[in-house]
């Protein structure tokens, strides 16, 4: 378990987290930022995913995000697609509970996950892909020290149109220089 200013990261629990995840995967406000259609995943598929995530592998580690003030499960985050030679991994996050978006909870979770990536997993680079129209997400990543590295044109298709995505990353040296440290 890891604790920041606003959130705590705990290991996923397939039983405890299932209904929240299922609800979030049926919420267009969540799925649009992920480039998915709402309802694409069944309750059973989400349960299987959570069970796999709870067992963590060398290529995928997932946490549930809880608000410190009340212990509410508000989202999830993961380090995945580990490249053990290059010491890099992809970061992904979702804040499923709407009332917690845009209030620093996502930024705090990203900062914690970056800290875990560099200090626990000895990574050199943490990267992510974000919908170029997801201004709140981009702002949270930049506050956590990520920089824009490139643009993936027509990366995904949602709601009847293509969207571009940004590749963003933070390097270990940037983190050490204080760019991504937890405040």
122 CB neighbour count, 10 Å cutoff: 10
155 part of the active site: no
Q: Which residue is catalytic, options 141, 155, 162, 163? A: 141
Predicted structure pTM score: 0.89
Pick from 166, 162, 120: which is nearest to 142 by CA? 166
- The total domain count for the chain is 1
The CATH number of the domain where 119 resides is what? 3.40.630.30
Residue 181 lies in a domain: no
- 29 located within any domain: yes
pLDDT higher than threshold 90 for residue 100: yes
- CA distance linking residue 148 with residue 171, whole number of Å: 12
Q: Could you list the residue range(s) of the whole structural domain that residue 14 is in?
A: 2-127
- The phi and psi torsions of 146 (rounded to 5 degrees) equal -75, 145
Residue 140 covered by a domain: no
Q: Is the pLDDT of residue 88 over 80?
A: yes
**Domain membership flag for residue 117:** yes
pLDDT digits (tens, 9 = 90+) for 61-82: 999 999 999 999 999 999 999 9
d(CA 139, CA 145): 10
């Amino acid at each position: 378990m890891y604790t920041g200013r606003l959130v705590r990261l705990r290991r996923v629990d397939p039983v405890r987290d299932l209904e929240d995840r299922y609800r979030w995967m049926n919420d267009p406000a969540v799925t649009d930022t992920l480039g998915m259609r709402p309802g694409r995943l069944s309750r059973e598929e989400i349960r299987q995913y959570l069970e796999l995530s709870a067992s963590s592998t060398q290529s995928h580690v997932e946490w549930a995000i809880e608000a410190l003030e009340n212990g509410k499960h508000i989202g999830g985050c993961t380090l995945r697609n580990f490249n053990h030679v290059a010491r890099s991994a992809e970061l992904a996050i979702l804040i499923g509970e709407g009332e917690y978006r845009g209030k620093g909870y996502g930024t705090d979770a990203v900062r914690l996950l970056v800290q875990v990536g560099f200090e626990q997993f000895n990574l050199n680079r943490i990267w992510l892909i974000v919908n170029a129209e997801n201004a709140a997400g981009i702002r949270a990543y930049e506050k956590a020290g990520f920089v824009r590295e490139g643009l993936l044109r027509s990366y995904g298709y949602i709601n009847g149109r293509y969207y571009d995505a940004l590749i963003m990353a933070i390097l270990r040296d940037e983190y050490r220089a204080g760019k991504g440290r937890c405040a």
